[in-house]
Structure 1
Amino acid sequence: MTNFQLTPAEIGVLNLLLQGNSNRAIAEILVLSVRTVESHISRALGKTGCRSRLQLSLWWMQQVTEDKRMCASRIPSLPA
């Protein structure tokens, strides 16, 4: 998975963003201030080149999907 050097905190926020949470909801879930959540999203936008929350969410969904696909391809097939 290409992570553009995202921090664990940024990844956590992106996972919650992908679920459709608002900044306030993400802040409540992670016990952070809304401003801190905004900062994580802003830094992730800058690192990825995305221009909006929607574009960032779609980009992150693609990254997660590709990562799952790569993991699944590493599991050996069971004999029939």
Structure 2
Amino acid sequence: MFSKYARTVPDKFTLRELWNLTEGHRNVHDPVGSVGNKLEWYFLYLVGKDEDGYVHKDVVRSLFDGTLFYYIERKRHDHRQ
């Protein structure tokens, strides 16, 4: 996934690269699923981006292994201090 779509930085995604990823996995016969897929990745971008606007590989991995909520909590805790 990163080797194919992460063009700016090899282990990070920009919003545009996430858009290209969803376009690459789009099913023409499932427009509702395509919109849902784009929304899922956009929400990941909103909660997982860093100060430079990149989503790191670890954040994407945390989405798949179920630790994304711990990442969000840690990020919010660090932001408050």
TM-score if structure 2 supplies the norm length?
A: 0.31
Greater gyration radius:
1
TM-score if structure 1 supplies the norm length?
A: 0.32
More strand by share: 2
